[in-house]
Amino acid sequence: MDNLSYVEKCNCESNNFCRFVTDLTDFSVKEKEHLTKQIVTGDFPKILYVSGVLAAWSVIAGIIDAILFPGIIIYAVFHGVVDYKVLTPPILFLTGNLFIKFVYISRSLKGLIGVTDIVISALPYAGSAYLLKKFLINDKLLARAVGLYLKDKKQQFRKHLLNFVRAK
């Protein structure tokens, strides 16, 4: 890690993903230097951040969908009708969600991806994975590091969730 500048080392210390990579034993020193340069100097931090925001956004939208759509079905069953009043909330939510995601992605990743990629990234539940795949397809080492990082984050989330449930 001696080939890194002081600024790169400082940027790495303030980046969770970079610290995770430097602490891994799965990579050689040369691989860690390559990954660190990619993480602190490239466009990847923006992509990873936007991808994380989209993943969290999908969880929240999924919860809203899980409440909204069954509510519509129950309403339709009890009232015996499905009309525009019943279908308006989910259509407005879906349209508004797509539009706001489109604006967020296009502003956050201005110049990094094209309009087609922005549209695909704005799709419900798929945006985060699409962005990561698009930027990781050419760098297998970075893809492996991201996979390990996401696996670690998933395990940490499960651990926190179990501790929360056990505390109740």
Kindly state whether residue 11 falls inside one of the protein's structural domains: no
pLDDT for position 102: 94
User: Do 34 and 3 touch, CB atoms closer than 8 A?
Assistant: no
Kindly state whether residue 120 falls inside one of the protein's structural domains: yes
pLDDT (average), residues 39-53? 82
Kindly state whether residue 108 falls inside one of the protein's structural domains: yes
How many other CB atoms are found less than 10 A from the CB of residue 121? Answer: 24
The total domain count for the chain is 1
Kindly state whether residue 68 falls inside one of the protein's structural domains: yes
Residue 129's Cβ-count burial label (10 Å; 0-12, 13-18, 19+) is middle
pLDDT for position 131: 87
Kindly state whether residue 66 falls inside one of the protein's structural domains: yes
pLDDT tens digits for 59-96? 888 888 888 778 877 877 787 777 777 778 888 888 99
Kindly state whether residue 26 falls inside one of the protein's structural domains: no
User: Do 135 and 112 touch, CB atoms closer than 8 A?
Assistant: no
Kindly state whether residue 86 falls inside one of the protein's structural domains: yes
Enter the tokens of residue 162.
């179990």
Q: Would you say residue 17 has pLDDT above 80?
A: yes
pLDDT tier for residue 168 given thresholds of 50, 70 and 90: low
pLDDT (average), residues 126-153? 86
Kindly state whether residue 99 falls inside one of the protein's structural domains: yes
Where in the sequence is the domain holding 118, given as residue range(s)?
44-135
